[in-house]
Structure 1
Amino acid sequence: MRNLNLPISAVRKMIIPILVFILADALSAVNTVSIRGKILDETDVPVEAANVYLKGTIKGAATNEAGEFIITDVPAGQFRLTVAVIGYQLLEIPLTLSANDLDLGILRLKSVALQSQPIVVTAGRHEQQLQDVSVSVSMVTGQEIASRQAIRLDEALQYVSGLNLTGSQVSIRGSSGYSRGVGSRVLMLVDDVPYLTGDTKETNFNSLPVNQVDRIEIVKGSGSALYGSSAIGGVINVISKNITSEPDFNLNLYGGFYSPPHYPEWEWSDRTRYLSGLKVDYSKRSGNTGFRFGAGHDQGDGYKQNDWSRRYYVNGMVSYDFSPFRELKLSGTFMTEKHGSFLYWKDLSNALVPPDDQLGNTVQSQRGHLAGSYRQVLDDNHFYTVKAMWFHNDFDDNISGDAETADGNQSTSDFLDGIFQYNFSSDNHQLTTGAEINGSRVASNIFSDKSGYNGALFVQDEYTLNDRLTIVPGLRVDYFQLDGVGTDYQVNPKLGLVYRPGEFTALRATAGRGFRAPSIAEVFTSTTASGLRVIPNPDLKPERSVSAELGYNQFFGKNIFMDMAVFYNHFWDLIEGQFNDDGDIQFQNVTEAGTTGFEINFNLKAFSDKLSYRMGYTFVNARDISKDDYLIFRPRHLVYENMSYTWGDIQFGVDYRFISAWDRIDESMNLFIKDADARVPAHVLDLRLIYTFTLQKHDVQASLQANNLLQYHYIDLVGSIAPTRHFILALSLGM
């Protein structure tokens, strides 16, 4: 295995200048003051979680339950205080600070319908209101994740309109089928930086702790013009929680069990199957320095035989404000997991039991990342950021196709990404430009010892012609190289339009090109498991696409919102796992494919926001044009509904999912998976009950979650039953 570590002397040479710079900056600090106040609405109710910041600086805070905020370590001078929160009119106040602390007293916000929309950052690499973006964007808040007691991040995405999961592999509007964790057409970011393994380039949901997530933003449609390869089908951006101004401690404990299957012949264990875990985190800011640390443990017996799991993780974040205009953040995670391997069932009569040769198969993995971000605000209209991330992945298993050895598969990979981004804003322009470079290195007995790199330049301008029309042109140029394959480049332009015919109406249109370079795993995989042989294909070419979307959204008063979109995607050289004439699996370029469809979303709030209802319907016609047939593993219909009602300290919620059965699978799977054609539409009903109370001045939340309440059995992979009914009881404590 290659030694990928830097020499100690090299590390010392990098770290010492940084420490000297930080110390010198700290010693040169000037006298500072604090700004405090209280935010109320028109009816004197405190406004919680309002974003209060000084425009043109990095200084800011969020209001607490009482609507109070405090911004510390602000130098004397003239500033503009901005208060922004969903559902209220933006408030800006000019301030002149002297040598004394400033108490602003009570500030009142006016509720308006137009700003009852979230602020998103992923669509244009900067903050925007949802109605100002030219693409479809959805969001999952940290509150939604917590209320559903999501254990892994992919569970938090189950009710995002237009998105479905095949196992843990994400498809947005039919962009992806299933290739068992190898390659992804949806790019996953963590705080705007790609979060990928160096070998498979897969999405990594299990290595991020859910209690550290502030929100998840999902951009639907090709994002290659800003984010490059792997964003051909969309982008998922996980935004981390900010470090709190006041000390904040949170503890979450949960436990649950699986119900026996509906069919007695499927029962394989005479004992109850349990799952449990805990999460803890602590956050605090002191002067210019802040930190957040957390840890957790999850374990489950599994509802299928040989599907148990054990996971441990730690995470942390440290921030330092050099001044009100310069900020450095460092963060990282480490996760270790061991679990059984259930590839597919023995047959439909034994749907929760794997074939005998899979029993005892295990996979062990360690994953972690280190990330850094430096942001400098030059003035009200200019700022730049420098971000970098190193992602390390190491896994091994005892799954071997060789009867004489049990060495199994092993891979160690590293992925390093660096981004420089500059933003400029004026009355008519919002310019985003920058450069990105990343590299991958792999040492593996399944993917070989390979490396690759990618370099890119990108630019996008949001040009506002008048108060109704905005034009959004963009361009990204990528150059990439992969061992044994060679070099190539891609030029991906885009053009977007946003037209606002009325105060509460927005029309949008976007079109652009996308691409995805094959991962090292797709090109070089060579292994055998459970009778399946996978062989390399060094002739793989990058995928290319053209995508377009037309959309419309409308506010009807303050409490009703509707969004509709029609979309079109045309793919060339689509990479899918295929059986060749010898019966081996090989990743190949499908000649041509296309997806068309539409999506409708409807949001409603009523009874003073106590009742919340959301519905999304997506129709996708995914065609293999070369074969004049449906693309494999794509559902045509997705219906997601969510409703919650709050009565005092009690909240009741219900979620419903309908996913139509795949029109087509890879028929060759019938050769080694019995009853591979068995599939039905999915009807999943989840219920939750949450009770919030105070215990000795501490916030406590108890919740009961019933997932798949109707015990409806369906498959989420070929030959694999989706989770059966299970109940989770959780207790959360905040201090």
Structure 2
Amino acid sequence: MKRILFFCIVSFSFLKAQEKDSLRWEIHSKADSSFSEKERNRMKNIEDVVITGTIKPMSRSKSPVAVEIYSQKFFQKNPTHNIFEAIAMVNGIKPQLNCSVCNTGDIHINGLEGPYTMILIDGMPIVSSLSTVYGLSGIPNSLIERVEVVKGPASSLYGSEAMGGVINIITKNALTAPTFSVDMMTSTWNENNLDVSTKFKVGKDVASLLSLNYFIFNEKIDQNKDNFTDAALQNRISVFNKWNFRRKDNRLGSFALRYLYEDRFGGEMQWNKSYRGSDEIYGESIYTNRVEAFGVYQWPLKEQIISQFSYNYHDQSSFYGNNAYEALQKVAFFQTYWNKKFGNHDLIAGVTVKRTFYDDNTPGTMSSDGLVNEPMKSPILGAFIQDQWEIDSKNTLLLGYRYDYDKVHHSVHSPRLAWKFSPNPYHTLRFNFGTGFRVVNLFTEDHAALTGSREVIIKADLKPERSVNGNLNYIWKIPVDGRFINLDASAFYTYFSNKIVGDFDTDPDKIIYDNLHGYGISRGLSLNVDFNFNFPLTVNFGVTYLDVYQKTDDENTKIQQLHAPKWSGTYGLTYQFPKNLAIDFTGQFYGPMRLPVQHNDYRPDYSPFYSLANIQVSKRFESGFEVYCGIKNLLNFTPKDPLMRPFDPFDRYVDDPVSNPNHYTFDTAYGYAPMQGIRGFLGIKYIIK
């Protein structure tokens, strides 16, 4: 706590020293407020553009698909090192830690597991199944212009993996990005993050943005005294380069490259790299090398024809104790679509091809006799069409259809319907209906189970997972004293069939993959409220109710989804003092969620209600500097007993009838929240426009 106070004292000392500069900034801000009403509306409309719901840029208010938009400023209210942590500020989205040792995880939308969420960068499926677990923490917030979220199946546009929803990370445009920016942040846990970016122009129509992110956390901390690190050590570097081209008739043109390297470790406090892969001291050590490339090109034709591509290369070398996991995944994606308006109809038609290569050192990529290595090579061909019809000024109808062909699942059909009714600017009702599908990457999702010597059996005619979804969204803008209370309410219902599950119990020497003989349900309600008071206070609050479960045909038992809280929500308050001094109070709360427990486990089956609260004080100056400091996890909440038998991680004494009569085994999956307690942070930014 002394370090927290010291951080804040240093920050405010700097703020006081810059008071003269802040006065000039305040005068500058007042000058900005002199824009005409027309200019302010124009700027508002620019910020209101979305692409995720319909694949093409359009005003959010005109989109028949409900799309949530979150700017970089929104995430800066609780500064984090990467998008994985930042996305927790969005109502209905939960970054879930799947391992209490190495702290890898995935992103849940409305309670659905991570593989059901598609992560896009600039509209391209960059985040493949392997990097869903190991690559999300490598996406720095410094790259983000805004984040667009579509909840519910979007397979008719984006294909497999978009069953639960889509998170589209829009990166900065090199033509409009600041000339130079730097952001440095540290914490009382000695987490150090550096973001540096600069842009340069090549002529008047070409600009390049070069960005570097470096994060290092090398301090072993064990506050709960279980002899395991509370947070995984990380040494990570990310280099990003994006080129944007200003072309005739505003045609699109951009290209981007990113390289990521990460050295991650979690485990016993005595571990060092000499123990990597040994059975003496337990450690989980993961080396990741990752390359991404993506771009868009609009053809110089009278017709609007746009091509997009993405490619990622993910090489992982890891040890979980003495179990090695070596994996390589390469995913290439190409898409071309044609956009044409016919009166009140806006038509889009396109074709896609996606090819996935995956290889690892587990039985999952070996032949049935275990003698020949057989990497997975999975091409998927697709075609889609959609028509957005503006029936009149109040009604818009969208009809869409997608066809995909996969060599395992064969033909997959995905229809879609969306309707928007807006009788006036204060009320908007949207109804979305659609289907989703998922071609499961079995071996990237179950690799921990495949490190043994089991034979993998895939039932013939394995069907793709399917879903049918209905979503009703209502937006009400309530005028109050010249301002608006914004209410955004949604009700959703999704029915899942053909869920692909692994049977580990029928035969101890086999893993048998088959479609679930039953169904799954995801249903719930969500509400977001935003309000700007007459005095400089902004309040936003969100709450989500979830009921996510599955049933089998032979047993009429309702099985709740793991890590899917019945109730969850977000909250944020921002007070803007004079002289550009601001205080942000943000957080999330989670109700009880079902947890993975062992037989006769002494730990509770459900987590308690808890909240992760944060506070930040920030100040901006005319010179381009901004200083911020604060406290994370104000309530100092951490899970109890996240590890089972941490004193016996190699299960040497698991069969001891005296010390372990219940035959508990070492387990890392019980943790449901970060183990980092209360801590302070301090940061400084500098921007040259």
TM-score bin (small chain): 0.7 to 0.9
Equivalent residue of 1:645, what SS? strand
Equivalent residue of 1:149, what SS? coil
Q: Where do 1:108-507 residues align within 5 Å?
A: 108-109=38-39, 111=41, 118-167=48-97, 168-176=105-113, 184-197=115-128, 204-245=135-176, 248-258=179-189, 274-285=190-201, 286-300=203-217, 301=219, 303-304=221-222, 305-306=228-229, 307-342=232-267, 359-376=282-299, 383-399=304-320, 408-446=324-362, 447-448=364-365, 449-481=375-407, 486-507=408-429
Of 654, 679, 682, the residue aligned with 2:585 is 654
Equivalent residue of 1:568, what SS? strand
CA contact (8 A) 2:115 2:129 kept: no
2:617 aligned with 1:692: no
**Displacement, 1:209?**
2.6
Rounded to whole Å, the distance in 1 between the matches of 2:68 and 2:57 is 15
Rounded to whole Å, the distance in 2 between the matches of 1:442 and 1:688 is 43
Identical aligned pairs, as a percentage? 18
Equivalent residue of 1:559, what SS? strand
**Displacement, 1:535?**
6.5
2:680 aligned with 1:680: no
**Which amino acid counterpart does residue 327 of structure 2 have in structure 1?**
S
Equivalent residue of 2:339, what SS? strand
Equivalent residue of 2:88, what SS? coil
Rounded to whole Å, the distance in 2 between the matches of 1:245 and 1:655 is 29
2:473 aligned with 1:551: yes
Rounded to whole Å, the distance in 1 between the matches of 2:49 and 2:590 is 29
TM-score (norm 1): 0.74
Rounded to whole Å, the distance in 2 between the matches of 1:620 and 1:389 is 34
Rounded to whole Å, the distance in 2 between the matches of 1:429 and 1:620 is 37
**Displacement, 1:510?**
1.3
2:498 aligned with 1:573: yes
**Which amino acid counterpart does residue 502 of structure 1 have in structure 2?**
N
**Which amino acid counterpart does residue 528 of structure 2 have in structure 1?**
N
**Displacement, 1:552?**
1.2
CA contact (8 A) 1:457 1:477 kept: yes
Partner of 1:38: none
CA contact (8 A) 1:200 1:521 kept: no
Rounded to whole Å, the distance in 1 between the matches of 2:251 and 2:81 is 35
**Displacement, 1:206?**
2.4
Rounded to whole Å, the distance in 2 between the matches of 1:110 and 1:198 is 42
CA contact (8 A) 1:256 1:275 kept: yes
Rounded to whole Å, the distance in 2 between the matches of 1:378 and 1:243 is 24
CA contact (8 A) 1:418 1:436 kept: yes
Equivalent residue of 1:109, what SS? helix
**Displacement, 1:325?**
4.3
Gaps of 5+ in 1: 1-42, 48-65, 68-87, 90-107, 177-182, 259-273, 345-354, 403-407
Equivalent residue of 2:74, what SS? helix
**Root-mean-square deviation over aligned CA pairs:** 3.1
For residues 139-198 of structure 1, give each alpha carbon's deviation from its aligned partner in whole angstroms, at most 9, with x where no partner exists.
Answer: 22111233422201111210211111221311211222xxxxxx6101111111101336
**Displacement, 1:400?**
5.6
**Which amino acid counterpart does residue 424 of structure 1 have in structure 2?**
K
2:518 aligned with 1:601: no
Rounded to whole Å, the distance in 2 between the matches of 1:724 and 1:535 is 43
For residues 385-416 of structure 1, give each alpha carbon's deviation from its aligned partner in whole angstroms, at most 9, with x where no partner exists.
Answer: 211111010011133656xxxxx110111110
Rounded to whole Å, the distance in 2 between the matches of 1:440 and 1:472 is 31
CA contact (8 A) 1:114 1:504 kept: no
**Displacement, 1:679?**
2.5
Structure 1 pair 46–433 and aligned structure 2 pair: CA distance change class (3 A): farther
Rounded to whole Å, the distance in 1 between the matches of 2:406 and 2:308 is 20
Equivalent residue of 1:580, what SS? coil
Partner of 1:25: none
Structure 1 pair 534–526 and aligned structure 2 pair: CA distance change class (3 A): farther
Structure 1 pair 387–528 and aligned structure 2 pair: CA distance change class (3 A): closer
RCO (CA 8 Å, sep 6+): is it higher in 1 or 2? 2
Rounded to whole Å, the distance in 2 between the matches of 1:620 and 1:184 is 18
Partner of 2:5: none
TM-score (norm 2): 0.78
Equivalent residue of 1:206, what SS? helix
**Which amino acid counterpart does residue 287 of structure 1 have in structure 2?**
K
Rounded to whole Å, the distance in 1 between the matches of 2:429 and 2:163 is 23
Rounded to whole Å, the distance in 1 between the matches of 2:30 and 2:94 is 42
CA contact (8 A) 1:527 1:535 kept: no
CA contact (8 A) 2:261 2:289 kept: yes
Rounded to whole Å, the distance in 2 between the matches of 1:651 and 1:291 is 33
CA contact (8 A) 2:496 2:520 kept: yes
Equivalent residue of 1:638, what SS? strand
**Displacement, 1:631?**
2.4
2:634 aligned with 1:709: yes
More helix by share: 2
Structure 1 pair 245–522 and aligned structure 2 pair: CA distance change class (3 A): closer
**Which amino acid counterpart does residue 622 of structure 1 have in structure 2?**
V
For residues 75-121 of structure 1, give each alpha carbon's deviation from its aligned partner in whole angstroms, at most 9, with x where no partner exists.
Answer: xxxxxxxxxxxxx97xxxxxxxxxxxxxxxxxx52659996983211
2:32 aligned with 1:46: yes
The count of aligned residue pairs is 586
Partner of 2:489: 564
More strand by share: 1
